[in-house]
Amino acid sequence: MGEFIATIFGIKSRLLVYFENCIQFPCQKGMIFFKLLSLLPLSLLYILSDGVYLLGYHVLKYRQKVILTNIQEAFPEKTAQEHHRIAKAFFRNLTDSFAEIIKAYSMSKEEFNRRVQIIHSEIVTSHIEKGEVLIGMTGHFFNWEWHLLQMMANIDNRVDVVYTKVSNAFFEKLMMIIRTRFGGQMVEKDSFQRDYLRKRNQPRMIVLAADQRPGNRDIRYWREFMGRDTAFFEGAEKLAKRFNHPVLYAHVSKPKRGHYVFRYELMDSPPFSDKLEHSITDQFIELLENNIREQPEIYLWSHNRWKWKKAE
């Protein structure tokens, strides 16, 4: 989140440098600032996010070219007016997510329960209670941070979330504090393999945002996605098939501002011996694409997902 906010304004602000220095010295002023900010009502934080929206989208025009290109390529059947409507709605969801992440620093479980609904969470608990490891696959929909917190609050400490470390030290520490408020384990992707082998027999759910863009050297599988050739990681599929783990998809919807619904559905389960290669990844992509088409403005269009081009 820290790098994202800094990028929006195109600068490394003095405030951000100050927060970085807070980590290097016995100083908690930066953490205290965000904790106090989180105590404001969400309605007031949304007023702040409205200001960031106006500045970021209409003045600084943050990543507008990437956002509009991605939306245009994904929905060629829509008009230019519709493309801009989706882009504006997306950007408002993006800035709202900053307010919601700040609020998550102090938001109670009771308020999370009012705002974040998880349907069919019993799929997870039933597999864990049977002593199984479950793979959870999802995409970058708003607000994935609230999803993780609500999930951890309801499934106790039996959740591992694979994530990419934030390079800014202050915001890495801040996000770790927020993400682990209700338990659970954040596992940095570079250490995931070692962590998995160490805890191989511990019943839990392993959560992967499986729509991330692989590094150029990591590309193993290309598939059409939202009308374009797209590179995908297949780590979730390989893990599930090698160790016989059932796989779940989390469908996302946003009925209104500050409220989210996550519906779990079992994608596949062992045995996988008769399944075709890429079967889990293909199913995930189809579910993800359908999810995006239902409510495109809640998907992360500012990410340069199609940076790599498939060789002819």
Of 13, 29, 35, 26, nearest to 168 by C-alpha is 13
The answer to whether residue 15 scores a pLDDT higher than 50 is no
Average pLDDT estimate for 72-89 = 97
Confirm if 227 and 219 have CB atoms less than 8 A apart: no
30 pLDDT band (50/70/90 cuts)? confident
The answer to whether residue 286 scores a pLDDT higher than 60 is yes
| b/e code 40-71 from CB counts within 10 Å (16+ = b) | bebeebbeebeebbeebbeeeebbbebbbebb
Q: What is the pLDDT of residues 110-120, one digit of tens each?
A: 999 999 999 99
Residue 305 exposed, middle or buried by CB count within 10 Å (0-12, 13-18, 19+) = buried
Distance CA 182, CA 261 (A): 19
Residue 26: how many other CB atoms lie within 10 Å: 5
Residue 307: how many other CB atoms lie within 10 Å: 10
Cα of first residue to Cα of last residue in the chain, in angstroms, is 36
The answer to whether residue 10 scores a pLDDT higher than 80 is no
128/311: higher pLDDT: 128
- Amino acid 17: pLDDT: 52
Average pLDDT over all residues of the chain? 89
- Amino acid 308: pLDDT: 84
Count CA atoms within 13 Å of residue 51 on its CB side. Answer: 6
99 pLDDT band (50/70/90 cuts)? very high
Q: What is the pLDDT of residues 179-194, one digit of tens each?
A: 999 988 999 998 999 9
- DSSP assignment string, 48-96: HHHHHHIIIIIIS-TTHHHHHHHHHHH-TTS-HHHHHHHHHHHHHHHHH
